A = this chain, B = another copy of it.
Amino acid sequence: MVLKLYYDLMSQPSRVLYILLKTMKYDFEPKYVNLRKAEHYSEDFTKVNRMQRVPVIDHNGFILTESIAILKYLSRENVIAESLYSKEYKLQARIEEFLEWQHIGLRLHCAMYFRVVHMDPILTGRKSDEKTIQGYKRRMMMALDDFDTKWLGRGTAFIVGETPTVADLVAACELEQPRMAGFEPKDHFPNIAAWWPKVRDHFAPHYEDAHVILNKIINKMDRAANSKL
């Protein structure tokens, strides 16, 4: 059984799958797709995924896109442990309730803030205008507040119960993204601040490994900002 993972660790859902497969000690073939070099738009990669996005898996010739659909498939194929993605109907539904909510509830807003503040200036050579940034920031703050109070902050250690699931890993990897735009969710949301280290610890050392490049970028930005003071 050969599993290929097309990924770039700059992509949040790519990191989710990478960390999970490493945590499961599953022997997969990593296929790096360099987003910064626009390799996802290449003819070769478009043949793999007509949507031109990562992550993608190729499981013995069965090519599947969309990270949440991939999680579900890998759970059914017993690649992901049941402790992380329950097969008990109600617990599974609770995990999926979050996985479905997060697309527009959380991911959209964190990703858009990251794009407007961090990516667009790189791509266009000029800073986004302040009013645009503030609009995206306001929507991200509302999304993070929902996550902090309506998903966390309900008296359990993790999103669904007392042990981590794939829902926590998906959320955690997403929340790393606005950090590259200079925004630290943990400094503003107490439940996120309490929960996040527990997720990182559970998926150690692979969580940190998958975020090495991201953290290097953040540290470099911090140094640049400090040198301007």
Contact = CB atoms under 8 A, between A and B. Distances in A.
B93 A104 contact: no
Given A50-B150, A100-B103, A93 B108 contact: no
A65 B101 CA distance: 9
Nearest to A96: B69
A73 interface: yes
Interface of A: 50-51, 62, 64-69, 72-73, 76-77, 89-90, 92-93, 96-97, 99-101, 103-104, 107-108, 146, 150
B101 A51 contact: yes
A100 B50 contact: no
B97 A64 contact: yes
Contacts of A73: 89, 92-93, 96
B62 A97 contact: no
A140 to B, nearest CB: 15
Contact of A100 (B66, B93, B146): B66
Nearest to A105: B51
Given A50-B150, A73-B89, A89-B77, A68 B104 contact: no
Q: Which of A66, A77, A146 has the most CB of B within 10 A?
A: A66
Given A77-B89, A89-B76, A90-B62, A69 B108 contact: no
A66 B108 contact: no
Closest CB pairs A-B (n = 4): A103-B103, A66-B100, A69-B96, A73-B93
Given A103-B103, A104-B104, A108-B104, A72 B93 contact: yes
Contacts of A100: 66-69, 103
Contacts of A108: 104, 108
A90 B69 CA distance: 11
B65 A97 contact: yes
A53 B25 CA distance: 40
A108 B107 CA distance: 12
A31 to B, nearest CB: 19
